[in-house]
Structure 1
Amino acid sequence: MNDRVFITECPRDAMQGIKEWIETNDKITYLNSLLECGFDTLDFGSFVSPKAIPQMQDTARVLEGLNESDTKLLAIIPNERGAEDAAKFERIDFLGYPFSISETFQVRNTNATIQESLKRVEAIANICHKENKELVLYLSMGFGNPYGDAWSPDLIVTWAERLTQLFEVSRLSLSDTIGVATPALIQQVFSTILSESKSIQISAHLHTLPENAAILTEAAYTAGCRYFEGAIKGFGGCPMAKDELTGNMPTERMLDWFKVKNIETGVDPKKFTESFVTSSKIFH
């Protein structure tokens, strides 16, 4: 094998925008199938207000039904209260906070300004340290935004450096929330950040049309990225971003590209196929 990459599967991201209620037992069945696949991390749920994301209101009950696995569990939290709720569960490894470099989207997504979010991250980082959890920060709108807010590759690097200097961060996830990243832009952003941030995991959370999955995966990998995030069949997207969503990076497309390139992912092909089939019962 040439190299090793680490895949985060994101069923939470896939399910959160679905308006029709998915039964708790169906979520548990699906997530347990994913836990058998060998993913590095599973973004399984979020501790957020039921009014904001109704589909995630049963995250705690779902967690109770999950089987033991070597796959790490990540929960998304929008504020200090969510962090406190999630940190009570020993099973959860990562707490993830969506930090946007777009002021407009930060308010839209978390009802907080960037300055207020910095205070939230400080509180969340303290909770992670106290409760032995690892902090993941998502740099939302990481490749541009539709609101006219300032954006540049240098701005991304500036924020990455500032956040990792201020807080004890385990992973930064560069998030193309609206699917605007090009291969050239991905290479530029990842090459720059990876050269500056050698002590931290930098992950690619790309939203894209399925036909562009391979070239975007290749661009990030070529730039040195070794942590990738996706969702089976590309389901999901951010319901807070805009009305017309570009879906998540389809995990199966990423896995196909890594297989062709003889790059180890740790994912069991047979188990993944079983989860792929199970997903059809969740996403109609």
Structure 2
Amino acid sequence: MNQNNINIIECPRDAMQGLSTFIPTQTKIDYINQLLKVGFHTLDFGSFVSPKAIPQMKDTREVLDGLDLSETSTKLLAIIANLRGAQEAVSYDQISYLGFPLSVSEIFQRRNTNSSISEALWNLKEIVTLCKRHRKEAVVYLSMSFGNPYGEYVPTTKVLDLAVQLREMGVKIISLADTIGAATLKDVEHMFENASKVLSDTELGVHLHCHPSDAYSFAKTAIDVGCKRIDAALGGLGGCPMAKDDLTGNLATESLIKALSDSNSIESNLNLEQLDLANEFRKKYIG
């Protein structure tokens, strides 16, 4: 497998958004500027959502103003939850990707974006059109793809049906998200084996939440099943504060890098010295 087949998405936004203590704006700027030196494909850096819902990200605009993109090839991704957020996000030239969470769980869709799945799909059509008009790319996260805490049964076929609808809508990047850390390794294998049959022309990614001790195994499995993009966060920080009370951390970047290096000589192509500096900063100032 060629190393260029896998895009690594570092997610400081997801790492920080659930922390109860507000991280100063300048600290966010310094951390993300350090991550920009590492060589990730994309940074999920902030979000244009209501500060009442996600108070930690209320300073995304100020953070964006402080970023130095002059010597990096890393692209920026911002999360949006509705058309209003998308309209603001597309006005920034620095942002390349708009990430939209579409849940396969009806309960979580309402909890996360205050809309039904059908309403979210309707809004998404307008967002995709907006992205094309402003030369941005929509990234859709199919959250709760591997289970939910509400007892809703969502078969793999429903997840894939939604993914096909997205592709037909013009969405070229879809990330299957395990929002609460419910997936097993076999679940990931099964999902991607089936998804690759119907979404061969899609950049299919995975956004996993898991215990740090399981991160390497999940990263290795995602690589082995042909995942084209993998989300991660240094230290395995983060989780979705809208999903449940106890956050389950993100896939740790350190584990992903080790899994890449162990997989048929795939190299991450990252600047590991700058990565170490970013990790030291994270430990000292973020968590």
TM over 0.5: yes
Query: 2: CA distance between counterparts of 1:6 and 1:132?
Result: 20
What stretches of structure 1 of length at least 5 have no aligned partner?
none
Correspondence 1:142 to 2:132:
no
Correspondence 1:205 to 2:199:
no
1:93 aligns to what SS in structure 2?
Answer: strand
Query: 2: CA distance between counterparts of 1:266 and 1:107?
Result: 39
- What is the RMSD computed on CA atoms of the aligned residues? 1.2
Correspondence 1:62 to 2:63:
yes
User: Which region of structure 1 is more displaced relative to structure 2, 121-130 or 134-143?
Assistant: 121-130
Equivalent residue in structure 2 for 1:154, among 145, 157, 171: 157
Q: Which residue of structure 1 lines up, in the alignment, with residue 233 of structure 2?
A: 231
Contact conserved, 1:6 with 1:266, CA < 8 A, in 2? no
2:44 aligns to what SS in structure 1?
Answer: strand
Contact conserved, 1:107 with 1:113, CA < 8 A, in 2? yes
- Deviation of residue 128 (structure 1)? 0.4
Equivalent residue in structure 2 for 1:277, among 274, 277, 280: 280
Query: 2: CA distance between counterparts of 1:201 and 1:18?
Result: 30
Q: Which residue of structure 2 lines up, in the alignment, with residue 41 of structure 1?
A: 42
- Deviation of residue 149 (structure 1)? 1.8
Residue identity in the other structure for 1:221: I
What stretches of structure 2 of length at least 5 have no aligned partner?
none
User: Superposed, which structure 2 residues align to 1:71-220 within 5 Å?
Assistant: 71-165=74-168, 167-220=169-222
Contact conserved, 2:223 with 2:260, CA < 8 A, in 1? no
- Deviation of residue 2 (structure 1)? 5.4
1:66 aligns to what SS in structure 2?
Answer: coil
Contact conserved, 2:176 with 2:206, CA < 8 A, in 1? yes
User: Which region of structure 1 is more displaced relative to structure 2, 94-103 or 13-22?
Assistant: 13-22
Contact conserved, 2:146 with 2:182, CA < 8 A, in 1? yes
Q: Which residue of structure 2 lines up, in the alignment, with residue 252 of structure 1?
A: 254
Identity %: 45
Per-residue CA deviation, residues 81-104 of structure 1 (Å, 9 max, x unaligned), is 000010100110000100001000
Query: 1: CA distance between counterparts of 2:144 and 2:103?
Result: 6
Q: How many residues align?
A: 283
1:108 aligns to what SS in structure 2?
Answer: helix
2:277 aligns to what SS in structure 1?
Answer: helix
Per-residue CA deviation, residues 170-219 of structure 1 (Å, 9 max, x unaligned), is 21011000001111110010111122112111111000001111111122
User: Which region of structure 1 is more displaced relative to structure 2, 274-283 or 55-64?
Assistant: 274-283
Relative to structure 1, the CA distance from residue 161 to residue 2 in structure 2 (aligned partners, 3 Å threshold; closer, same or farther) is: closer
Residue identity in the other structure for 1:277: E
Per-residue CA deviation, residues 62-109 of structure 1 (Å, 9 max, x unaligned), is 011111121010000010000001010011000010000100000011
Q: Which residue of structure 2 lines up, in the alignment, with residue 23 of structure 1?
A: 24
Contact conserved, 1:100 with 1:106, CA < 8 A, in 2? yes
Query: 1: CA distance between counterparts of 2:262 and 2:274?
Result: 19
Q: 4+ runs of 1 displaced by more than 3 Å?
A: 1-4
Query: 2: CA distance between counterparts of 1:182 and 1:217?
Result: 12
Contact conserved, 1:73 with 1:92, CA < 8 A, in 2? yes
Q: Which residue of structure 2 lines up, in the alignment, with residue 240 of structure 1?
A: 242
TM-score when normalising by structure 1: 0.97
1:247 aligns to what SS in structure 2?
Answer: coil
Contact conserved, 1:12 with 1:44, CA < 8 A, in 2? yes
Residue identity in the other structure for 2:218: L
Per-residue CA deviation, residues 151-179 of structure 1 (Å, 9 max, x unaligned), is 122221111111111x2212101100000
Residue identity in the other structure for 2:176: L
Contact conserved, 1:209 with 1:246, CA < 8 A, in 2? yes
User: Which region of structure 1 is more displaced relative to structure 2, 79-88 or 257-266?
Assistant: 257-266
Query: 2: CA distance between counterparts of 1:49 and 1:156?
Result: 27
- Deviation of residue 114 (structure 1)? 0.6
